[in-house]
Each structure stands twice: as C-alpha cells, then as structure tokens.
Amino acid sequence: MKKNLVILTGAGVSAESGVSTFRDSDGLWEQHRVEDVASIEGWYRNPALVLDFYNARREQLPTVKPNAAHCAIAELELDWNVTVVTQNVDNLHERAGSTRIIHLHGELTKVRPENCFNDSDGYSEEKVFDIGYESIHIGDKAPNGAQLRPHIVWFGEAVPKIGQAIDAVEAADVLLIVGTSLQVYPAAGLYAYAKAVTPIYIIDPADVPLKDGRLTHIKEVATKGMETFKNILKSK
C-alpha cells in the first residue's frame, strides 16, 4: 500500500518556468501594487484593471511549460499516494501529470460570479467555469446575471479549500514544502498539522523561518532540490 506524500508548493516552483512570481523584492507584481490587483478592495475600486491584469497572466500561461520540478513531483505518484497542495494559480502541475491537486488560491483558467466569494455566501464548485486561456471583460456575465471575476482567492478573502489541505497534511506520512517562503497565511501554517512523527522536508535556496526538529532543509532551487529529495526517498 502506498504511503501518503503531501507536497506544499509555491511560486518558487513555477518561477523556473518563467511564470511571474506573486511578489518580488520591490512589492510589485508586473508593475502593479499587489493591493490593486490581488485584493477584494482592488476589485471594488477598479474591476477593469483587475480583469486586464489576469487576462494578461492567462494569456502568458500557454507560453510557459512545466519544468523539471513539476515533472519530478508528478513522477512520485508511481511510488506514493501524492497530494499536491499549491498556492500557485497556474496549471503547470496538471500539465506535468499530477492527478491530485488542491488549489488553495484558485485557478487562473477559471472564473466565477463576483457575488460568490466563499462557502458562507454561496460559493460552490458548480458556479465555477473553466475558460481556458480566454479573456473576460466588464459586461461578461455568469448565468446568475453577476459579473464574472477571476477564480482567485485574493487578500481579504477566505480560503475555501484550507480544510481539505489540513486533512491532507494530517494524513501525510511525509511532508515536502517547496518553492514557498511560508509568509502567506493560512497556507504558511499548514505544516503544523502534520503528525509528530511525520518528517518534513523544505526545498528553498534561502534560509527558512521554521524551527522544527522534524525539518530537513534542502538548500537548493526547486528543480535541483526535487532530485535531491527523490534520492533521499530512495535511500530510506
């Protein structure tokens, strides 16, 4: 019987494919303030700007490809019961072949009505539409008559799938964290739900803020670190 491997991924995994990271050192994302394009307040202030921003991100997506880290994660399904819990909104894990993915922060290729934000006020998967790489604009309406918005969890919004992610981490026999700085909550606190006996590995070329006796730090970029991690698994 395969053991459970849970992999928490962030922007560092997709960055090596050429995907723009959510926030860089000067606090801008493609020359926009995060507050303007990735918050519910930004949507209320200027929805056209937000739509244009995500249309551009969506248009970029088919021009990038999964990298060796995405592929290595998918290949682990041969020997493990893998669940990918990702903070990324791209579809590179899917395109690499991973089959069980929890998108904490939504998906760039999907949209939903603007009046459906989370479980408490009517959000449900049945109201989410896959548009692929198409653009949406002001005036594009959902069947319920509401303006369509990106299916993205913005700052200031609840994270509907955090419960699924917690369940996965609690059941993990091994937990891997790769490509995330663990600075955005609630995702940053997920590792704390792992069992006391669960080994935790983190792949990050920089120093990490975690102080945990279960932790092994692989100080490499995602593509190289995944090869190191796979070799560690083989040696056990």
Please list the active-site residues. 105
Compute the distance between CA of residue 178 and CA of residue 182 in angstroms, rounded to an integer.
10
Q: Cis omega (within 30 of 0) on the bond before 186?
A: yes
Torsional sign, CA 152, 155, 156, 159: positive
Closest CA to 82 of 14, 161, 3: 3
Edge-to-edge strand list for the sheet holding 101-103: 101-103, 81-86, 4-9, 174-178, 200-203, 215-218
Which residues face 178 on adjacent strands? 9, 203
CB 155 within 8 A of CB 34: yes
